Amino acid sequence: MDLDHTAEEDVFRAEARAWLAAHVPAAPLPSLETEEGFAAHKEWEARLHSDRWSVVSWPKEYGGRGADIFKWLIFEEEYYAAGAPGRVSQNGINLLAPTLFDHATDEQRARVLPSMASGEVVWAQAWSEPEAGSDLASLRSTAVRTEGGWLLSGQKTWSSRASFADRAFGIFRTEQGTAKPHQGLTYLMFDLSAHGVTVRPIGRLDGKPAFAELFLDRVFVPDADVIGEPGAGWKVAMSTAGNERGLTLRSPGRFLAAAGRLTDLWRARADPGDTALRDRVADAVIGARAYRLFTYGNASRFAAGASIGAESSLNKVFWSDYDIALHETALDLLGADAELAQSEWAEGYVFSLAGPIYAGTNEIQRDIIAERLLGLPKGRR
């Protein structure tokens, strides 16, 4: 792993930094978990796209810059250091798009990716069901064959962004009575405004509808919106999950910037004699830098042709636990009323609490680490 940037990478960083300095809104946008904020963030996605900064690592034909993974990491560092808005399109860009690059047809990529890059179409993830969360293979929602496509029926829950999003992606049972539960599943895309879809928002701790339940009653989906082969959806879904837990969902730039803000907060607000709190701030900085090195190591492996595999579970457990600890430290610095205030730290803390649950619970990820990486016996399942 070479941590020295090339001259070309330095030029890229300077270009990104200059663009962000000129375009990042002077005042924070409203929370993207509100209708007003969602619309404002879609406008920001369009602004990013207009100068090809919304998906820097994608091929140019889909709206990207064709940048490699190291330039993507550089852009992420600059993006968060500039205090730029959160990405309302992250479900599509970070989860569905890598899946499309790996498994979709050329027609699907040409049809779906440009509107995702521009923010015109925002995607929700529709995987979890009332009795199928971390045990995704136990899902009950079905897709039944009909002329020219499929009819979706069932219920999805905890669907991120679904309260205001345009489309969703998920897996559905298309074969009954298979030998194993992860067989006979199919990966589909569907329109959230289609006939038969009911979207019921779910309020977060702060009341904002960050999630939604989806009720599907014979929703027609054309064959053109099946990703991969019918019945082989589990393989496609694991591709999505690997990206979610691994490299793309939480870039180190996000945590480096947050650790920097925490350090500034300590300097401005803390009692110098509170060495316990000081040590927690130092741990946050160390954690962010360690995560950056780990990520660059994974990026080097990708660049050499390797895949991340079960190691993505290490990533997921680390960043989700780290995110909570970082925000708890900030709230302790701010004082007793911090959790009630309408602040970036308070909203970040509420969001961080979901980290150990979504993208596969940390309990399941620890099972994967124990069994697949360490070779330990199977435990709780």
User: Which residues are the active-site residues?
Assistant: 244
Distance CA 210, CA 222 (A): 28
Provide the total of helices (H) and of strands (E) in the chain, helices listed first. 12, 8
CA 226 to chain centre: 22
- What's the token pair of residue 14? 């300077």
Collapse the DSSP code of 169 into the 3-class scheme (helix H, G, I; strand E, B; otherwise coil) and give the result: strand
Residue 8 burial (CB count, 10 A): 10
- Phi and psi at residue 151, to the nearest 5°: -115, 120
Q: Is 109 exposed, middle or buried (0-12, 13-18, 19+ CB in 10 A)?
A: middle
Q: How many residues does the chain have?
A: 381
Nearest to 251 by CA among 54, 78, 40: 78
* Residue the block writes with tokens 């045990």: 135
Residue with tokens 């928002």: 201
The three-point CA angle 50-53-58 to 5° equals 110
- Residue 123 contacts residue 94 (beta carbons within 8 Å): no
The structure tokens listed for 72 are: 């993507």
CB 292 within 8 A of CB 260: no
What does the block give as tokens for 218?
């014979």
- Other residues' Cβ atoms within 10 Å of the Cβ of residue 59: 13
From the list 219, 242, 106, the residue with the least C-alpha distance to 172 is 219
Instruction: Report angle CA 247, 252, 254 to the nearest 5 degrees.
Output: 115
d(CA 9, CA 303): 15
157 neighbors 357 (Cβ within 8 angstroms):
no
